[in-house]
Structure 1
Amino acid sequence: MQDIIQKINQKVADAQDDILKFFREIVAIPSMDSDIEAVGKRIGEEMTKLGFDDVYVDKYGSIVGRIGDGDKIMLFDSHIDTVGIGDPEQWEWDPFEGKVEDGMLYARGALDEKNSTPGMVYGMAFARDLGLIDGWTLYYLGNIEEWCDGIGCAAFHDWEGIHPDYCIIGEPTNMKVYRGHKGRIEMEISCKGVSAHAASNYMGDNAIYKMLPVIDAISKMEKDFVPHEFLGQGRVTVTKVSSVSPSTNAVPDECTIFIDRRVTFGEDRPYWRKALEDLIPADK
């Protein structure tokens, strides 16, 4: 085993410049708003260069690479889309070119999670070169996950008919092996008000104001969460607030909040639906 580790380390050292160049190039390609065509093409070029057995775009639009044809299937999953850059004026450097500081690259998507792709792509090629994948088929899947959790992998499973026995996910884990993760529930709460002209706001019922006690209560929920011994602390976050109003000079008659809940074992959707319903004042 030690001999194999030394050989892998040597191959990484020999290819270090190519790996880092590949990493910088895919980070430099914007892939926001689920637009992964350009970055997927660049990843496909690298897999072709490394001699992958098959490189293609699947029905969902993900970039796929395959090495081997064994009975056991291992999937290396990495989402290659990113969130936006927010206010460009708040960046002190180009968010796509990035900057290197103390050996770290700071750029949009450099951590979450384009950094996993070079290691996966080159790692698969190294495993093949060292004769480590007899009886295995390895797939790389570069997909869209930032805006639609799990759909890219589900499409690969359902539409492409690839059913992996094992899966390695490229989310950042501080270089530790994680054997599980919290579940996620996304929920909405809406309330109705009565619109009126802002100059006569007393004639209306502001839906945003009606929602404020609920937002405040959600912000205090975590203090009562009991951490799970394996999955750790559950989380709940109001991630978006939207309102409906006839115009910007009118009292809004509808307000909706979006809630992201990271759950541990035993916390299912009905449980959390009731927990949130209990936060709503009876008179709202």
Structure 2
Amino acid sequence: MTIHEQIRAKAAEYRDYTALNLSKMVQVKSYSSQEEDVCRLIVTLCEEAGFDEVRIDGLGSVIGRVGNGPKKLAFDAHIDTVEVGNLKNWNFDPFSGEIKDGKVWGRGSSDQKGGAASMITAGRILKELGYGGEYTVYFTFTVMEEDCDGMCWKYLIEEEKFRPDLVVSTEPTSCRLYRGHRGRMEIRVILKGISCHGSAPERGVSAAYKAAKAALAIEQLNKDLQPDAEKFLGKGTITVSQMDVKGPSQCAVADYAMLYLDRRLTWGEDAELAISQVRDYISKATGDDPSSFVVEMPNYEKIGWTKKEYSQELYFPTWKIDADHQLVKAGVAGHEALFGKKPVVDKWTFSTNLVATTGRHKIPAIGFGPGDESQAHAPNEINRVDDLEICAAFYAMLPYSLEKK
């Protein structure tokens, strides 16, 4: 049997094993910064799979290793999840982890513990095949992504000096191969007014009305944003996600307003540009000098389960790699060897940990993961067992495919 035939056979043999491991992970709640229990479970699963080394880093992410080659290839899955929201929108227990009808059911099954389950199986396959090639293969099960995508990797690279040569995100791609996505940032705007009694509003200056004008200005800015030159990632976007207006009382003109903005950044856009656009549009809409109001990028400062203090600005740079990059080519070749066809090559709509590895630190990366992007953060989340098997095979094949390039 060829190596790809052996990998296909083992991925099929471990189909139920992969689904069961995903089920176990789904059953353990792991909201951002509260991932300790699922991390402990993953350590056990990696050890049982025969990994050469398993450790927990300073922020709480699990790092598994297979092989001892001179080059470093890292597969990444974040293992925190968003909360379940309104339980009335769910048709089943979000933490049941039930396996039925060819699917694993529950919160995090697609976003993105499915990728983690396939990674564990891939590590087991590589160990059983006696992989000893030019890559040390790392499997990272990372924390706090839902709150602050990429911070876990910013910490690994900048604080623990762990820098792989290549990275694969296992976020859901419907088993397509992705080579980029837009970046994002969060922006806070603070507008000031002058309060007065509500019976004579003409005596004051309403921050509420300024906020309304500012919100409409942001709506216009979103319409005016343009796509990237390649038209691969598409246009950037901006939206008002929160508003808060306050005054001395319910019978007073508001003297404070806050708008919180979600900005998606296409290729060629960065934080400086985005902030200057917001400042200009709001200044024109309100008539205020830009120096009279605040446009700022907040920091993320939540403490994780290890109680390690670490923070970063809420800026997540755009990334992409060329379609003819060796990593893309190796992924396409490996997929074709395994499944007899080339994968669809595309991009994510949402953001991933690759904002840090690739957007910030320029490490080449691709995405390939089980499940659908549309399942992320949605009620009644599921993942297909077929996808888990496909991805386990793809991850195990990639080191071999890279060595042929």
Give the TM-score of the pair, scaled to structure 2. 0.63
| % identical aligned pairs | 35
Q: Give the match's secondary structure for 2:119.
A: helix
Deviation at 1:164, TM superposition (A): 0.3
**Cα distance, 1:77–1:195 mapped onto 2, change above 3 Å:** farther
Aligned residues of 1:241 and 1:257 also touching (Cα < 8 A): yes
Q: 1:193-242 CA distances to partner (integer Å, 9 max, x unpaired)?
A: 34567x75836655344212222332343433333322223222323333
Q: Give the match's secondary structure for 1:277.
A: helix
Residues 1:212 and 2:212 aligned together: yes
Deviation at 1:87, TM superposition (A): 2.4
Partner of 1:21: 20
Partner of 1:241: 243
Q: Which has the higher contact order (CA 8 A, sep 6+)?
A: 2
Partner of 2:182: 182
Partners of 2:8 and 2:111 in 1: CA distance: 24
Aligned residues of 1:59 and 1:159 also touching (Cα < 8 A): no
Partners of 1:53 and 1:176 in 2: CA distance: 29
Deviation at 1:24, TM superposition (A): 1.2
**Cα distance, 1:108–1:214 mapped onto 2, change above 3 Å:** farther
Partner of 2:88: 89
**Cα distance, 1:4–1:237 mapped onto 2, change above 3 Å:** farther
Pairs aligned (count): 282
Residues 1:78 and 2:77 aligned together: yes
Q: Give the match's secondary structure for 1:148.
A: coil
Q: Give the match's secondary structure for 1:25.
A: helix
Partner of 1:157: 157
**Cα distance, 1:10–1:201 mapped onto 2, change above 3 Å:** farther
Partners of 2:86 and 2:269 in 1: CA distance: 36
Residues 1:171 and 2:171 aligned together: yes
Aligned residues of 1:93 and 1:99 also touching (Cα < 8 A): no
Residues 1:257 and 2:263 aligned together: no
Residues 1:117 and 2:121 aligned together: no
Partner of 2:273: 271
Aligned residues of 2:214 and 2:286 also touching (Cα < 8 A): no
Partners of 1:108 and 1:243 in 2: CA distance: 34
Question: Unmatched 5+ residue regions in structure 1?
Answer: none
Partners of 1:213 and 1:68 in 2: CA distance: 58
Amino acid at match of 1:31: S
Q: Residues 48-63 of structure 1 correspond to what in structure 2 (within 5 A)?
A: 48-63=47-62
Give the TM-score of the pair, scaled to structure 1. 0.87
Question: Unmatched 5+ residue regions in structure 2?
Answer: 289-405
Partner of 1:11: 10
